[in-house]
Structure 1
Amino acid sequence: MASSFEYVQHPRRSLPPPIPTRSGPAAAFLPGTFHPINPKQVSAGNDQVLLSGWGKFVRWLVVLASIFAIIVGINLILDGVYSVGTTSANRMYELAANPYMGLLIGVLATALVQSSTTTTTLTVAAVGTGLISVPVAIPIIMGANIGTTMTALLVSFSYVGERREFKKAFTTAAMHLWFNTLVVLVAVTVEVLFHPLRSFSGYMADRLVGSADNTVPTTHIVQTVVEPFIELIGTNGLFGLFGSQTVAAVFSLIAGTAIILVSIRVMSFQLHMITAATAHSLLDMFSDPEESKPATVRTNLLGFGVGVLFTIMVTASAVTVSSMQPFAVTKTLKRRAILAVILGANVGTTMTAAIATFAVVGIHGAFALQAALVHVSLNLFGAIVVLCIPRVGRAIITLAEKSAQLAARSYTTTLITLVSFYIAIPSALLLLYTVMT
């Protein structure tokens, strides 16, 4: 099994040990990797692979192919929407017109796919098609911020053997939960009343694109590269052979969504493999293995920067937060410093959706960019507030500690509560709202 081996650097790289033929994780058989040595039971979070130059090259090719696939997926969604007509397609998103229902959709969707990047990228793509407007997208993006906190909370259950360790790990994950939840609760209320995120992101999008033009600068380049593929498999190509234009459009929408889901997963996994050593080195440099020192302004800023860079590398804030749990368990880092890394992770995770906007072809490109900037602004403003007002950070840490104390009383009750909060309750409320309307 993959978790039965530890990947360590071989002392003589010129003479790597032979690759096993019948055992070991699948990663050992990919080009340029060294097989596991000194086998022992290690956690998945500490499982690393040493890659040769050829191994990195192959994986970078996979990353580039994944990015291209995401672009194709976005444009397949565009093709499907334009074929079926935005009026008909908008019926699928009527629920999201209510900001609080949109918030629940974001929470539920992200909890189910375990990736806020996927949810925000699909939402940006929907804005780029004209399927939903920016005001409708904003609550969904906010909900994705809450939904993504589920992953680290579940990872903390790997420490259930020792309650003290579980409390420390759960506290780290709960800091992510409380920060995102409090920011979203404040932001959604203020946004409904005064629309600051919509106004600021619209202003920035106009500055970047130009108010007289609704297309992003890369539109023509993307169209030239991607259009042959869309013509081949889109509503006028392969999918057009399945029947009516509506059927072809549905296939195009489903295929585009599936391609984005899979591609983001593949890209995240490969980037994690490529950058694992570098990313963990960043965290090791940030921590002091000999002594846990109090957090200062310098360490907070350093932690924020590490969180941003680490998350850009692995394209998942949940991975960054989960990686902080061993530091919390061993007391290598103070909780305030860990919170700084979490704040940086929240900003770093916005980059994928922002980059995806440059793949949007059509007149709604600037609106897609605006939706992505909403995500960046939301997380950046929240981080600035916590970094600049220590009392807010202390309140988040206190709430997280209290949550961990309650969670440690009963693992089963805690797990049921998490499933209810992220999945059962949003599903029930959405169903009830649908029935009532």
Structure 2
Amino acid sequence: MKRLTQALPKGGLWNVLGLIISLVLFFTSLDLLGEAFELMGEGAAETLLATTANPITGFLVGILATTLVQSSSTTTSLTVALVASGTLTAVAAIPIMLGANIGTSVTNTIVALGHFRNIEEFKRAFKGSMVLDFFNIIAALLFLPLEIFTRILSWSATQLTNLLTGAGAVDLFSPLDYIVEPIANFIVGLTQETGWIVLIIAFGLLYLSLQGLVKSLKAILNEDLEEKVKKYLFGSWWQAMLFGLMITIAVQSSSITTSVIVPIIALGVVAAIQALPYFLGANIGTSTTALLAALSLASNGDAEGTASLMVALVHMIFDIYAIILLFPIKKIREIPIWLAEKSGEFVTKSRAVAIAYIAIIFYALPFAGIWLTRDLDIATFYEPTLPQEVEQLRQEASANDGNTQNTNNSGSQSNNQK
């Protein structure tokens, strides 16, 4: 850190202060975005999660629910809580965790819109944000069928669950909660919790904070400091991945971690290919929030708590397996980058096209997919590997459902005889 601060230009202290204020406003705008969508959705995410019919629908529900609350940590933690309460089964929850990874990248894509006034920055920002979109889409399209037919994720999670059950929880806190939350709550209170007003304020703050971020970064980042950022934070793939992982664990939000790098990509300081491992580190980091919640729920060893831990581990294992399988091979690693570059050239032709991309990919397609697949009977041949306590709970639930159905049939027959 000392080496980095020594590279600041004269008068850079005021620029650093401006950068800090801009970051606080930026984080507040992201928090307000999530609050706005939650207020307008009125519990829509929770309702979606609790009504999952099959793995395909569950996967799409994970995408849509995450875009509604603007946070995969919220979606996965809520899913874990629903499993622990018995509202959602572990079988239904696994595909939701896979879908949540795609939904979380909507925030940094929205942030990229803030650079529309400068066409070159706009292109770089959108391409950088879309790299994560395409990596997550490719990973999900690969692992969702693999899980349905081979149960690789649920089997791996079950083995780890058996080791960790009863281990207890470790509490982490985000320092941003003590800075951003009071500001966001104050603004929401002023609007009397009116979702559309909060949304307008959020976008206004997002735009203003991005202008401040870019202005401050341009003043601070001289050639020497740029080289130090590239060398010490993005010098290698493991440095960037570790950086993304640690930042996400610290702030407990991958949306913040991935969004804050977008202005730096827009300025050309970091290229999309350098940002990819940083994004992947954030993917792993965001799974710790749900995992910590699940460890607490599973500490007493009951079946529901064990199921919630297993579901949380599926999310982390999916992210790790995706990196192991897709990142080391250069040709495969370059696919999402190539797709982002080609798509970015088309999407950044105008703001209207960029907005349409976000609306279609993150909202319209998942919603249409849920409507089309809600009656598919895929669940009949999807039998994930579950911990013994969870499997026993599932069998008991199935037996109870069967008994209830028989009782109802008997009652109907008696009424007919009468």
- Report what 1:336 is aligned to: 273
**Which digits, 9 at most, give the CA deviation of each residue in 1:4-35, with x for residues without a partner?**
xxxxxxx9xxxxxxxxxxxxxxxxxxxxxxxx
**Which digits, 9 at most, give the CA deviation of each residue in 1:271-303, with x for residues without a partner?**
779xxxxxxxxxx9xx95148969999611111
Given that residues 80 and 311 in structure 2 are in contact (C-alpha distance below 8 angstroms), is that contact kept between their aligned partners in structure 1?
yes
**C-alpha separation in 2, matches of 1:326 and 1:94:** 37
**C-alpha separation in 2, matches of 1:183 and 1:395:** 12
Structure 1 residue 392 displacement after superposition: 1.8
The answer to whether residue 267 in structure 2 is matched with residue 327 in structure 1 is: no
**C-alpha separation in 2, matches of 1:431 and 1:136:** 17
**C-alpha separation in 2, matches of 1:181 and 1:119:** 17
**C-alpha separation in 1, matches of 2:306 and 2:106:** 31
The answer to whether residue 284 in structure 2 is matched with residue 347 in structure 1 is: yes
Given that residues 347 and 357 in structure 2 are in contact (C-alpha distance below 8 angstroms), is that contact kept between their aligned partners in structure 1?
no
Map 1:201-350 onto structure 2 (within 5 A).
201-209=157-165, 216-218=166-168, 269-270=177-178, 289-290=226-227, 299-350=236-287
* SS at 2:279 equivalent: helix
Given that residues 110 and 119 in structure 1 are in contact (C-alpha distance below 8 angstroms), is that contact kept between their aligned partners in structure 2?
yes
**C-alpha separation in 1, matches of 2:242 and 2:15:** 34
**Which digits, 9 at most, give the CA deviation of each residue in 1:51-81, with x for residues without a partner?**
xxxxxxxxxxxxxxxxxxxxxxxxxxxxxxx
TM-score normalized by the length of structure 1: 0.61
* SS at 1:358 equivalent: helix
Greater length-normalized contact order (CA 8 Å, ≥ 6 residues apart): 2
Deviates more, 1:420-429 or 1:368-377: 420-429
- Report what 1:372 is aligned to: 312
Given that residues 288 and 333 in structure 1 are in contact (C-alpha distance below 8 angstroms), is that contact kept between their aligned partners in structure 2?
no
- Report what 2:124 is aligned to: 168
**C-alpha separation in 1, matches of 2:60 and 2:241:** 28
Picking from 367, 389, 405, the partner of 1:427 is: 367
- Report what 1:404 is aligned to: 344
- Report what 1:121 is aligned to: 77
**C-alpha separation in 1, matches of 2:26 and 2:100:** 29
**C-alpha separation in 2, matches of 1:434 and 1:148:** 23
Structure 1 residue 363 displacement after superposition: 3.1
Structure 1 residue 141 displacement after superposition: 0.7
Picking from 184, 191, 198, the partner of 2:147 is: 191
**C-alpha separation in 2, matches of 1:157 and 1:268:** 24
Structure 1 moving runs of 4+ over 6 Å: 36-43, 91-94, 291-298
Alignment CA distance shift 1:299-1:38 (3 Å): closer
Identity of aligned pairs, percent? 28
Alignment CA distance shift 1:170-1:434 (3 Å): same
**C-alpha separation in 2, matches of 1:168 and 1:46:** 23
- Report what 1:200 is aligned to: 156
TM-score normalized by the length of structure 2: 0.64
**C-alpha separation in 1, matches of 2:22 and 2:363:** 25
- Report what 2:330 is aligned to: 390
**C-alpha separation in 2, matches of 1:93 and 1:408:** 33
Alignment CA distance shift 1:153-1:299 (3 Å): same
The letter for the 1-side match of 2:328 is: C
**C-alpha separation in 2, matches of 1:207 and 1:169:** 42
Picking from 91, 94, 99, the partner of 1:143 is: 99
Structure 1 residue 94 displacement after superposition: 7.5
**Which digits, 9 at most, give the CA deviation of each residue in 1:142-170, with x for residues without a partner?**
11111111110000011000111111111
Picking from 110, 135, 154, the partner of 2:110 is: 154
Structure 1 residue 399 displacement after superposition: 0.9
**C-alpha separation in 2, matches of 1:271 and 1:380:** 31
**C-alpha separation in 1, matches of 2:252 and 2:16:** 30
The answer to whether residue 339 in structure 2 is matched with residue 381 in structure 1 is: no
Structure 1 residue 358 displacement after superposition: 2.6
**C-alpha separation in 2, matches of 1:41 and 1:196:** 45
Given that residues 95 and 434 in structure 1 are in contact (C-alpha distance below 8 angstroms), is that contact kept between their aligned partners in structure 2?
no
Alignment CA distance shift 1:144-1:268 (3 Å): farther
**Which digits, 9 at most, give the CA deviation of each residue in 1:103-146, with x for residues without a partner?**
11111110011010011001111222233222211111111111
The letter for the 1-side match of 2:178 is: Q
Structure 1 residue 384 displacement after superposition: 2.5
RMSD: 3.9
The answer to whether residue 96 in structure 2 is matched with residue 96 in structure 1 is: no
The letter for the 2-side match of 1:365 is: G
**C-alpha separation in 1, matches of 2:133 and 2:21:** 23
Alignment CA distance shift 1:190-1:340 (3 Å): same
**C-alpha separation in 2, matches of 1:293 and 1:104:** 37
Alignment CA distance shift 1:127-1:393 (3 Å): same
Alignment CA distance shift 1:38-1:331 (3 Å): closer
Map 1:29-68 onto structure 2 (within 5 A).
44-45=22-23
Structure 1 residue 328 displacement after superposition: 1.6
Given that residues 60 and 370 in structure 2 are in contact (C-alpha distance below 8 angstroms), is that contact kept between their aligned partners in structure 1?
yes
* SS at 1:308 equivalent: helix
- Report what 1:111 is aligned to: 67
**C-alpha separation in 1, matches of 2:175 and 2:19:** 27
Structure 1 residue 410 displacement after superposition: 2.2
